[in-house]
Amino acid sequence: MIYWEDLEVGRDEVFGSVEVSRDEVIEFAQRYDPQPFHLSDEAAAKTHFGRIAASGWHTCAMAMSVIARHVVKTEQAGLGSPGVDELRWLKPVYPGDTLTISGTIIEKTPSRSKPRIGSFRTRTRVTNHDGADVLTFTSIVLMRRRPSEAAAES
């Protein structure tokens, strides 16, 4: 199990990659973001996208899927997140793109009121197959502390 104490500020980690499929772009848009440029090549051609593009929220969901699978696979003692800061969609994401999700731990803080919990902030980057940033955000994550060390501070 990876606990809060195991995290190092400055550590970079690649969480994994995901390929963007046309069917999923359209399915997500139909359900959650039914703007024409997410649903139709003809409509998208009339915009700055030039062709069908994934919803920014779909890009966030794909990134979250990769991150969550990584957390489960590496057995992190995560407790969820109270939110994200500085979310930016920087470039369109298109069907056929391969997105890579990575993060750098920029801060970690023990909880003052709950000694068994700590939090950390990660600067998350989603890049396309050309290495260009398409999405960035700072995530705030809650994590269990190592039981023996948390008990010592109680």
Name 90's Cβ contacts closer than 8 Å, sequence gap at least 6.
Answer: 132, 133, 134, 135, 136
Kindly report the pTM of this predicted structure: 0.91
Domains in the chain, please, with CATH?
A: 4-153 (3.10.129.10)
Question: Quick one: what percent of the chain has pLDDT higher than 90?
Answer: 95
The 10s digit of each residue's pLDDT in 20-69 is 999 999 999 999 999 999 999 999 999 999 999 999 999 999 999 999 99
**Taking 90 as the threshold, does the pLDDT of residue 2 lie above it?**
yes
Cβ contact 97:140 at 8 Å = no
**Taking 70 as the threshold, does the pLDDT of residue 153 lie above it?**
no
**Confidence at 152, pLDDT banded by 50, 70, 90:** low
Residues 110-136, mean pLDDT to the nearest whole number = 96
